[in-house]
Structure 1
Amino acid sequence: MRTTTLVVVCGSFLAFILFWIQKEFTTTPNMTKTVVPVAEQKDLELKTNSHSAHETALKNIIKPSSTSKTGMKPPKLVIILAQTRSGSSFLGEIFNQHNDVEYFYEPLYPFGECPRTESRDLIDYFYSVLQYDFKATRDIYKKAFSISQRIDNQCRATGVCFSACDKCAAFIYRDAHLCRPTQTNGCQVEDFLNGVSEHAKIVKLLAFKTCYLCDPKWIEPILKNPAYDVKIVHLVRDPRAIIKSKISHAHTPATIDINEVRKMTTTTCQHVETMTKYVDANLAHDENRYFRIRHEDFSLDTIAWTKKIYDFVGLQMTTQIQNWIISATSAKNPKNLSDKNKFGTKRNSAEVVVSWRKLLLFEQIEVVQDNCQYYMMSSNYRAFKDDITVRNLDEPSF
């Protein structure tokens, strides 16, 4: 009896052991389990959800559509990407002077540099424009200014930045014959913006000139959306010329401290290289949507390059514009005009191209060349190794 009981007990115990082993192997095949601390799990979930939400938001802001909410096809939009002191105002004038263009000068100014506001605000601005809804831009600008803290230049008041200056939006008074909302006897802002929206429907294209978009990735949903006809005209300029122009604002090359030049150069080169690397990787292969123009080429043969740009965007050269170009680039313009009017749009073109080679110290040139290597290589600018070669204007720099 005792023997039988012992056998039953042992058998039951052995069966329990076998059952436990089988269960453990079945539920944990690898026999090991990585335990992630709760805090790390929450952090990982937060990052994953935040990234997914951001990507989803960007994708959902602009949904592919062949028509705007007005029932019309969205307007063709040309974005002139540039860097400050790169000659962008001059290039912008070939759009501003054209009667078939609604041209906007620095419409992204309220967002700050590089930009400080969320990408959603930028996308919302472009979305409003592509829907012919300029009335919506005022509220977007108000939010942007509250974040960037920039000085308001009529953007918030009228919904169109720099609308009072001749080089900024000539269509307002020349073609659309809109009144000035800022005058005491002018029209209401709502009527003004309605007029801008209606005029946008009859021109061939809208053109934005901006130096305040250092990373085109922020507007990627616009650029990569096949429902929108968006073209990029990318203006590049020799960074040594850009730095020379920036120095001239408050100094001369002979008096500015080299550390200040380094600081200025680092910021400038980071901006232009971020922009250039993005377009090289994402846009440069698409000849229908991307056109790169060097300031030097444009300055030395403005009429020929204007025709090329017009062909790219779908505009016709006119006698009026040819005459303006001849006047604006004439050698009769004083050589120091750019010093008298740093934001003007008339230049002695040949002088502008070589000016930096005469004025910058070689130590300053080396700083720029060291910091802007990718940008210079991508746009085929030549780096100099000695001061003598720099001063020899028979030696090409591009």
Structure 2
Amino acid sequence: MHIKYTISVIFIVTLVIIEKENNIISKVSDKLSTQLTPILFGPSLSAPHNASADQHEDRLLENSTWSTQQSSSPASASGGQKHILLLATTRTGSSFVGEFFNQHGSNMFYLFEPLWHVERMLSVESGGTNASVAGPAYRDVLHQLFLCEFSLLESFIEPAPQDHVTASLFRRESSQSLCEDPVCTPFVRKGFERYHCRVRRCGPLNLTLAAQSCKQKEHHAIKSVRVRQLETLRPLAEDPRLDMKFIQLVRDPRAVLASRMVAFSSKYKIWKRWAVGEDLPVDEDEVRKLKGNCDNIRMSAEIGLKQPPWLRGRYMLVRYEDIARFPMHKATEMYSFIGIPFSATVEEWIQHNTQASKEVSGVYSTQKNSSEQVEKWRFNIPFKLVQLVQQVCGPTMTLFGYKFAENKDMLMNKSVSLIEERTFL
């Protein structure tokens, strides 16, 4: 009797979970389908009001086929514009590297982590980020943003923008494009804007003006730590209106863990307890998360480095350690890969921001004495955690050229580098 009761309860709970997940997927699908229709059809491909579903499908298929055929010569279709997506995970130096594009000058439109809003809404509604829902949502929001269309992003911002005006865009101040004329509207002393522009006082962000500014810029760049799989972004690479370049930034997983334990202390309590020597059983969920992160990074890199036809000439892998040691050289390489002249303003910013003193070099600061940061983690993390990361993330470390520390003495020996010299083509 007890067994039958238990099975019934499990069955009911399972149905509730499935129904909840389906509702979330349905909500996100509604957002995407409603907002993407104008993008998919475009002005010349808009479907007539009396068109049948089959006709709609035929038009989409024709548009998709045309996009694939034309993707071999994107520069002509994109009008010479370059579209850059900096892909990374948290604590890999992506904010620092993103400034290489943010500081470029008046012809670069840069956005800092716009997918934060998407992740936040999906997490609030589901209690966590569901990869099957998040992947398509991230892709489609990025697709629109590179086309200077903000309507889909608006649908994820809370509280909802009024007349396309919001005081809640995440880290607005990290985008020069959103804090300069004409996007910087006159300051109004009412309401609260957490992410206000630092260098000047601006009113709440008008997304219509932001879209207009985006269209006037020659190049567009976005930085994101939320995309898990490069493969999901294939439609961006195959859209003839975009000349996409993907730069994947990676860092030694051991260094990433050490940095996250400091920056996200409340989320890494178990790791910190392990670090101070508490004899706790290995938390399988935490280890599974670590492995999942490493595997996603590695699989994306493996796809990129193989250079399939849709990614040929569009993918570049960069290690944080190489940027930290040779920032000017690596920045020049990135600009060469993209096909944009390296600007004097970026060069000046790099010179100023890679020689920062300890007083200004905080956890979230983009000002670092970068050469000192490369292997600093080795003296801030116990060897037993290093061993665990090496065990779980070994294939990822091998692919990126990070050497294993065989013992505590090797870990602490400054004269022994744990970074292989590598060239990623």
If the length of structure 1 is used for normalisation, what is the TM-score? 0.70
Q: Say if 1:188 and 1:177 are closer, same or farther in 2 by CA, change over 3 A.
A: closer
Matched residue, 1:126: 142
Matched residue, 2:113: 106
Q: Say if 1:152 and 1:279 are closer, same or farther in 2 by CA, change over 3 A.
A: farther
1:271 to 293, 305, 309: 293
Count of aligned residue pairs for this structure pair: 324
Q: Distance in 2 between matches of 1:372 and 1:214?
A: 16
1:154-173 counterparts in 2 under 5 A?
158=166, 161-165=169-173, 168-173=174-179
Report whether the alignment pairs 1:236 with 2:242. Answer: no
The offset of 1:262, in angstroms, is 7.1
Q: Distance in 1 between matches of 2:226 and 2:137?
A: 14
Q: Distance in 2 between matches of 1:109 and 1:116?
A: 17
Matched residue, 1:80: 86
More displaced stretch, 75-84 vs 216-225: 216-225
1:328-381 Cα offsets, whole Å, 9 max, x none, are 111x511x755xx32110112122112111121110100010111121011111
Report whether the alignment pairs 1:333 with 2:357. Answer: yes
The share of aligned pairs that are identical, in percent, is 22
Structure 1 unmatched ranges of 5 or more? 1-55, 146-150
Which of these two proteins has the greater Rg computed from alpha carbons? 1
- The residue identity in structure 2 corresponding to 1:383 is F
1:139-218 counterparts in 2 under 5 A?
139=155, 141-142=156-157, 158=166, 161-165=169-173, 168-174=174-180, 176-179=182-185, 184=190, 192-218=206-232
Structure 2 counterpart SS, 1:275:
helix
Contact 1:243 1:264 in 2 (8 A): no
Report whether the alignment pairs 1:374 with 2:395. Answer: yes
Contact 1:104 1:169 in 2 (8 A): yes
If the length of structure 2 is used for normalisation, what is the TM-score? 0.66
Q: Distance in 2 between matches of 1:131 and 1:272?
A: 31
- The residue identity in structure 2 corresponding to 1:108 is L
Q: Distance in 2 between matches of 1:380 and 1:372?
A: 12
Structure 2 counterpart SS, 1:127:
helix
Contact 1:158 1:181 in 2 (8 A): no
Q: Distance in 1 between matches of 2:86 and 2:292?
A: 19
Q: Distance in 1 between matches of 2:185 and 2:363?
A: 29
Matched residue, 1:37: none
1:351-362 counterparts in 2 under 5 A?
351-362=372-383
The offset of 1:199, in angstroms, is 1.8
Contact 2:91 2:256 in 1 (8 A): yes
1:276-287 counterparts in 2 under 5 A?
276-282=298-304, 284-285=306-307, 286=311
Q: Distance in 2 between matches of 1:61 and 1:219?
A: 20
RMSD, aligned α-carbons: 3.7
Q: Say if 1:268 and 1:90 are closer, same or farther in 2 by CA, change over 3 A.
A: farther
1:27-66 counterparts in 2 under 5 A?
63=64, 64-65=66-67
The offset of 1:317, in angstroms, is 2.3
- The residue identity in structure 1 corresponding to 2:216 is I
Q: Distance in 2 between matches of 1:213 and 1:278?
A: 10
- The residue identity in structure 2 corresponding to 1:280 is E
1:126-149 Cα offsets, whole Å, 9 max, x none, are 33224332244312x25xx7xxxx
Report whether the alignment pairs 1:222 with 2:231. Answer: no
Matched residue, 1:26: none
Contact 1:383 1:397 in 2 (8 A): yes
- The residue identity in structure 2 corresponding to 1:103 is Y
Matched residue, 2:330: 305
The offset of 1:177, in angstroms, is 4.7
The offset of 1:110, in angstroms, is 2.0
Contact 2:135 2:227 in 1 (8 A): no
Q: Say if 1:352 and 1:393 are closer, same or farther in 2 by CA, change over 3 A.
A: same
Report whether the alignment pairs 1:385 with 2:406. Answer: yes
Matched residue, 2:133: 117
2:315 to 266, 281, 290: 290
Q: Distance in 1 between matches of 2:233 and 2:251?
A: 23
Q: Distance in 1 between matches of 2:63 and 2:332?
A: 32
Q: Say if 1:380 and 1:120 are closer, same or farther in 2 by CA, change over 3 A.
A: closer
